[in-house]
Structure 1
């Protein structure tokens, strides 16, 4: 059972007791992502995520790593377009130590200039690595086409130009704006003790919002249909196609996931069968959904030799037109439902998965459905809702990005 406790300062603690396990996962979720950055701040959310591992007033970066290695634990973090998460997984009897270290990083990171300079180079290498991987880069180019005038279209990693401007004052100013108590959720799942919950409340229930704190503002950006081609000396051509879609709170959300699975979300999907199995045009072909608080996208990706790019794109178009013209079959829908239920339940086998689910549910939805409630929603997916989505999604003009050796 999921329990939510709100501290006097507004920080929410989400806990799920799992007495049958000997591990525990804890995450600090912050409602701060790259979409809330100003243009000159692009990449700063992700850079702060890196810098919180670089040392505090009492622990060096090496000591943070050594403490987790010593107890056989794991510590990591990630930044998305809408939130940031710092998390750890440890044996249950090391839980209070893990929470104490995370809190030390969260509140007491020093942001020394020499550490900033060193980590600036590390993130710059991360940017170059992403640009060197065309299967990653094509998606960045796609989002830039979709939302050319909005932060959603800018890369989470930032750019070399914006990265060069970051200093301690900028990092602290951004944290003062976005790392406020009401924007923070502590999610913990596993073999939880009352003492641990008291420690979390003691550590995170005391800090106050800065006068600079702001509420996250959604922009509801308009989708832009267009095309970009980047010429690169690659062996393959990489194609990404995206249609505007629903937001994460839409009542059709589970229908959208099911439709994605039918079109290109797994090995039995239409795209995988047509493009790879029937025609041998690509090794990698798939689709996925991206859903944010105000907008969403349905994206298809495939890579093939430059000689077969036109044929692969034609096959993708023909597959989508077939879905528009004839819809999906009852068997496809039932299979998609069962696949969704299986992946959902099997994905909750560990404490980290429960921590992630509860953290994002509290941060985004402020609501926690039981497993049975989710399974019932999946069972309720109807052919009518699937047909509505097909009409709503696939009849619109898409955005397209291509990276390849020649136009």
Structure 2
């Protein structure tokens, strides 16, 4: 039994033997419906989460991503760290938690997914037994596209051996048609050891051990970011090299060979993830949340295969229009700096 929280949903899950599915659903349903939020238990868990926040704050390679999102979307929930802040966690009361559950944990918010050796009819019967009389809908905030800042350079001064940095900009979300081209673009640029950034920053120039890119996509939007770690005396060169690679792919796009490799890598990743029952569970649940249906794997593969070089080039010209004005967040032995924000 365990749980995790994402930017847009919380998942309570169990991994059990097939014969224990009834017990697992019983336990999860009981936790979901009947948690007491005893004051002593809440206080104990608050201490645990506060320690988790301290642990995150002591790890610059983790902290820098939260700080970047906060800088990019300062006035939107997507800019807030999932774990919260020490102040918000410490201020929570059992009453706050009960109130949140009453508002947000109604029948309209529940999606049950099961993967593995299970019987659909049995699972349906068990869900009806444990959750069939669950009333209420779910309090939902209006969907609002986040307003991104640009041109912010924000440094958190720390006496570390390396500078950990994130450079990025707003991009597209899981509901946007561009999501498949964005995944391909990310793969070409920085999502593997054969990517352009890895080859240029690490293999050719030796500027750092860790370098890569990622596309965070959510319902209301998302962002594209490059992350790396380098020595203070090579930080400026590393940033300029990253910007140059973004400009290069913006101006010239990707070759047919690069696109073929990226699509093959994306296909392999999607297919091989299905070997994990937990990955299947997560994919089904997220698909229901975002699209209101289970998107077949074959459909995702077909959409990925349909991405063209022209689509990738058009996307790069949009997302990487001005690499020199992308936000940069860094942690390390740097001068404290924060340039006034601009919104786009």
| Alignment map for 1:281-320 (pairs within 5 Å) | 281-320=207-246
Indicate the SS of the match to 1:335: helix
1:274 counterpart residue number = 200
Partner residue of 2:167 out of 241, 248, 252 = 241
2:71 counterpart residue number = 145
2:115 counterpart residue number = 189
Deviation at 1:282, TM superposition (A): 0.5
2:93 counterpart residue number = 167
Deviation at 1:375, TM superposition (A): 1.7
Quick check: 2:251–2:317 contact (8 Å CA) kept in 1?
no
Indicate the SS of the match to 2:91: coil
Deviation per residue, 1:50-81 (Å, 9 max, x gap): xxxxxxxxxxxxxxxxxxxxxxxxx2211111
2:278 counterpart residue number = 352
The CA distance in 1 between the partners of 2:91 and 2:111, in whole Å, is 30
The CA distance in 2 between the partners of 1:368 and 1:110, in whole Å, is 34
Indicate the SS of the match to 1:238: strand
Quick check: 1:147–1:224 contact (8 Å CA) kept in 2?
yes
Deviation at 1:130, TM superposition (A): 0.5
Deviation per residue, 1:156-183 (Å, 9 max, x gap): 1111111121111100111111112111
The CA distance in 1 between the partners of 2:158 and 2:202, in whole Å, is 24
2:177 counterpart residue number = 251
Quick check: 2:167–2:328 contact (8 Å CA) kept in 1?
yes
2:148 counterpart residue number = 223
1:48 counterpart residue number = none
Deviation at 1:249, TM superposition (A): 1.0
The CA distance in 2 between the partners of 1:149 and 1:374, in whole Å, is 33
The CA distance in 2 between the partners of 1:346 and 1:98, in whole Å, is 26
Deviation at 1:191, TM superposition (A): 1.6
Count of residue pairs the alignment pairs up: 331
Deviation at 1:120, TM superposition (A): 0.8
Partner residue of 1:202 out of 109, 112, 129 = 129
Indicate the SS of the match to 1:170: helix
1:76 counterpart residue number = 2
Indicate the SS of the match to 1:403: strand
The CA distance in 2 between the partners of 1:161 and 1:308, in whole Å, is 36
In the superposition, the TM-score normalised over structure 2's length comes to 0.93
Quick check: 1:258–1:333 contact (8 Å CA) kept in 2?
yes
The CA distance in 2 between the partners of 1:176 and 1:264, in whole Å, is 43
| Alignment map for 1:114-153 (pairs within 5 Å) | 114-153=40-79
Deviation at 1:318, TM superposition (A): 1.3
Cα RMSD for the two superposed structures: 1.2
- 1:214 partnered with 2:144: no
Quick check: 1:244–1:297 contact (8 Å CA) kept in 2?
yes
Deviation per residue, 1:122-179 (Å, 9 max, x gap): 0000000001000111111111110112222222111111112111110011111111
The CA distance in 1 between the partners of 2:47 and 2:232, in whole Å, is 34
Deviation at 1:371, TM superposition (A): 2.4
The CA distance in 2 between the partners of 1:371 and 1:79, in whole Å, is 24
1:71 counterpart residue number = none
Partner residue of 2:303 out of 369, 372, 377 = 377
The CA distance in 1 between the partners of 2:313 and 2:128, in whole Å, is 47
Partner residue of 1:402 out of 330, 340, 343 = 330
1:59 counterpart residue number = none
Deviation at 1:217, TM superposition (A): 2.1
Indicate the SS of the match to 1:402: strand
In the superposition, the TM-score normalised over structure 1's length comes to 0.79
Moved over 4 A (4+): none
Deviation at 1:314, TM superposition (A): 1.3
